[in-house]
Structure 1
Amino acid sequence: MRRALTWVVMVAVGIFAAVGLWSAAVDPAPVSAEETAREVSQSLRCPTCAGESIADSSAMLSDAMRQTVDQQVRQGRSADEIRAWFAERYGDQVLLAPPRSGYGWVLWVAPLALVGAAAVVVLLVGGTSTRRRWWAALLVLAVTSLAGVWLLVPQTTPDPQRLKQEDPPQVNAVAVLRDAVDHAPGNAGLRIAFAGALEEVGQDAEAVEAYAAATRLRPLDSDVRYRHAFALVRSDDPGAAREVLEESLHVRQDHAPSLLLLGALVHGEDPDRASALLQQFVQLAPEHPAVDQVTAFLAGQLDEVPAEALP
């Protein structure tokens, strides 16, 4: 029996060594910042997708999360530290693989617990003493093997086909984008996305600030200026919106959305200019959905440009 136990221990040690070598061979540690960022991105779930990591998703929130990952990698944080940072803010549902903590322990420890319980049952109710010992030895070997796999094999991403059947986790888009902007304050695209998310939840005043920051980063982008102006209109500040639109048209005189919005804003004070702006809009964007209503307004059939006609 002593010889059998010796063989069991030797086999167990061999399994640990083999699993460790296999793990190192098939999944070497990242050696560059880009590889670390890619590894982390592959382990984080896209908040608005089903079964996709942020590395494979083109969603706005995934792009923001990738920006945050890149920033934290450049700051010297490890992959585990970045994953923990995301899990702390957005919950464990943001991780594609279950964590080995909290309720995640259940998924990892359950196989070990079941085999250990089987070993106890064999020792208590098994047949002869020799048979019980052999069964116990085999079960100890099984526990050792499972422990080796659990400790040495890296966590893997679940099957995307199965995840596609699940509902996407609920993650606060504003919080994700706010963190992304904090980590990359010079990224105009993130600020625009952040402003849009703020508008969706009714935080118009803060959206105006975000668009203003994006405008400073992209002073020649008429689309950004237009969105800034429209946010000002939503915040009941048409005077400031007009100033932004004037600047937008100074940068680009043929920007149709700016022509339409500015024409709608000035028609009460300056009908002639409003008419000129709206006629220019119709000429530049004849296929625009608002053209029919704008044409009706110019023909005197409507008292003002309906709000739903504005882009």
Structure 2
Amino acid sequence: MRWRRALVALVLVTLAASAGAALARSAGDPGRQDPVRAVSAGLRCPACQGESVADSRSPIAAAMRQVVADQLAQGRDRAEIRRWFVQRYGADVLTDPPARGVRLLLWVVPVLALLAGGYAALRTLRPVVARTGSARTGSARTGSARTGSARTGVAAPGAPDARGARRAWRAASVGVVALVASVAIVADRLDPAARPAPADPVAVALQLAHDLETQDRYDAAAQMYQEALRDRPDDGVRLRLAFALLRSGDGAAAQRTARDVLAREPDSPDGLLVLGLAQRNSRSVEADDTLRRFLAVAPAHPAAAEVRRLLATRPEPGRR
């Protein structure tokens, strides 16, 4: 019985120490003083390996922290912000995505094992305790009979073997531990798709840029497009960058980006459109010619009507 009492005491001490450590971490957690960091610590940086948004120094992480700050200022709580990111980038953007697949066994098996172990302990050890108590409080005649049986080495009729029960209980405990360990070892091999993978940094950067544009924050949006271009040199992304640069007031950079696209695709409607608008903002004499070329290439473009209006309000070069 001593080893059981020692085991129970050890478990209680361990639980108390864990609770104390958790309270100490909570009291000293800087996230409680910095709500932006508290929320960002639960988000995975798409551009980094194993870093949270709170710890990463990448521009994408900085933009995500700004989104968190904006949403906190709007009155959203931590759960709402996490759902917002999951809806756009998937559950893998979280540092602690929900368990799924075979990994779910890592949570289910220990619970079932504890329940089964507790039930087996009650069924196995209670008869032993009951027999011990009855032996101590029994009548003198029954005590004499048990003493005689003990001296002769013969067990009482119909009484289970206490030592055999203990051995069975210990063997079952070892089996449960082995089962849990086996599940933990093979979980990754059986369900590789369940491993949390970082979200696509390009997709995250493009979505962030779009969200920033809806807030008229074109400088920050342009930075996100530039981040996306580093990993995906795509003309579609360049054109979106050119429009963001144009709206942010950086017409020279918008012209360079548009010319880069037109060098590979001379009849790109969006390339001609952003170049012509940038030239018009800088009062270049080439602006009208570029916009007319845009109308010739894409007369049904959604922006064609507005371009025609612009050309009609400005006299052609040489006319008064």
TM-score normalized by structure 1?
Answer: 0.49
Q: Kindly name which structure, 1 or 2, has the bigger radius of gyration based on alpha carbons.
A: 2
TM-score normalized by structure 2?
Answer: 0.48
Instruction: Give the number of the structure with larger relative contact order, counting CA–CA contacts within 8 Å between residues 6 or more apart.
Output: 1
